A and B are shown apart, each in its own frame.
Chain A
Amino acid sequence: MSLLRGGTCRWTAALALTLLLSGCGTLSPALRPGDGLPQQAYAGAPFFAQEIHHCGPSALAGALGASGVTTTPDALAPQVYLPGREGSLQLELVAAARGAGRIAYVLDPALEDALREVAAGRPVLVLQNLGLSWYPRWHYALLVGYDLEARSVTLHSGTERDYVTALATFDRTWARAGRWALVIPAPGTLPATARELPYIAAAAALERSDPVAAEAAYDTALVRWPASLPARLGLGNARYARGDLAGAEAAFSAAARAHPDAAVAHNNHAHVLARLGRRAEAQAAARRAVELAGDSLPEARRTLDEIKGLGARD
Chain B
Amino acid sequence: MNMQRVICGVLALSLAGGTIHVPLAQAALVGTEQVVAATAGAQAADEARQRLAALLARDDVAAALQGHGVDAAQARARVDSLSDAEVQQLAGQIDQLPAGGDVLGIAVFVFLVLLFTDIMGYTDIFPFVKKTAR
* Contacts A169-B121, A169-B131, A234-B32 given; does A130 touch B103 at CB 8 Å: yes
How far is A165 from B126 in the complex, measured between Cα atoms in Å?
11
The smallest beta-carbon distance between A129 and chain B, in angstroms, is 7
Shortest Cβ distance from B25 into chain A, in angstroms? 7
User: Which residues from chain B contact A131 at a C-beta distance below 8 Å?
Assistant: 103, 114, 123, 125
Q: How far is the CA of A144 from the CA of B44 in the complex (A)?
A: 40
Contact B102 A151 (CB under 8 A): no
B89 to chain A, nearest CB (A): 6
A8 touches B109 (CB 8 A): yes
Assembly CA distance A240 to B28 (angstroms) = 13
Contacts of B109 in A (CB 8 A): 8, 12
Considering the chains assembled together, what is the distance between the CA atoms of A173 and B117 in angstroms? 12
Q: Which residues of B contact A129 (CB under 8 A)?
A: 98
Question: For the complex, what is the distance from the CA of A139 to the CA of B101, rounded to whole Å?
Answer: 5
A168/B99 in contact, CB under 8 A? no
Interface of A is mostly: helix
The answer for the CA separation of A241 and B84 in the assembled complex, in Å, is: 17
Contact A204 B24 (CB under 8 A): no
Assembly CA distance A281 to B113 (angstroms): 73
Closest A residue to B89 by CB, please name it. A91
What's the tally of chain B residues with a CB closer than 8 Å to chain A? 61
Per-position binary interface string of chain A over residues 83-122, scored 1 when its CB falls under 8 Å from any chain B CB and 0 otherwise: 1111111111011101100000000000000000000000
Using an 8 Å CB-CB cutoff, how does the interface string of A199-220 with B read, 1 for contact, 0 for none?
0110111011100000000000
What distance in Å separates the Cβ of B90 from its nearest Cβ neighbour in chain A?
A: 6
How far, in Å, is A238 (CB) from chain B's closest CB? 8
Q: How many A-B residue pairs have CB under 8 A?
A: 218
Inter-chain CA distance A209–B39, complex, in Å, is 23
Q: Considering the complex, which residues of chain A in the window 48-65 have a beta carbon less than 8 Å from any beta carbon of chain B?
A: 50, 52-56, 59
B116 touches A16 (CB 8 A): yes
Contact for B30 among A200, A203, A264, CB less than 8 A: A264
Chain B residues whose C-beta falls within 8 Å of the C-beta of A99 in the assembled complex: 81
User: Interface code A28-67, partner B: CB below 8 Å = 1, 0 otherwise?
Assistant: 0000000000000000000000101111100100000000
**A residues in contact (CB < 8 Å) with B:** 8, 12, 15-16, 19-20, 24-25, 50, 52-56, 59, 78-79, 82-92, 94-96, 98-99, 127-132, 135-140, 151, 158, 160, 163, 165-166, 168-170, 172-173, 177, 197, 200-201, 203-205, 207-209, 229-230, 233-234, 237-238, 240, 264, 267-268, 271-272, 274-275, 296-299, 302-303, 306, 309-310, 313
Given A84-B67, A229-B39, A268-B29, 19 further pairs, Cβ under 8 A:
A16-B113, A25-B122, A55-B102, A88-B100, A90-B100, A96-B81, A131-B123, A132-B123, A137-B103, A168-B121, A169-B123, A172-B123, A172-B133, A197-B39, A197-B40, A204-B35, A230-B35, A302-B28, A313-B19
Counting from the closest, the 10 A-B pairs by CB-CB distance are A84-B68, A87-B99, A83-B69, A87-B101, A85-B99, A204-B32, A140-B100, A234-B32, A303-B28, A95-B81
11 of the cross-chain contacts (CB-CB < 8 Å) are A85-B99, A89-B94, A90-B97, A132-B114, A132-B122, A166-B133, A169-B123, A169-B124, A177-B98, A234-B35, A309-B19
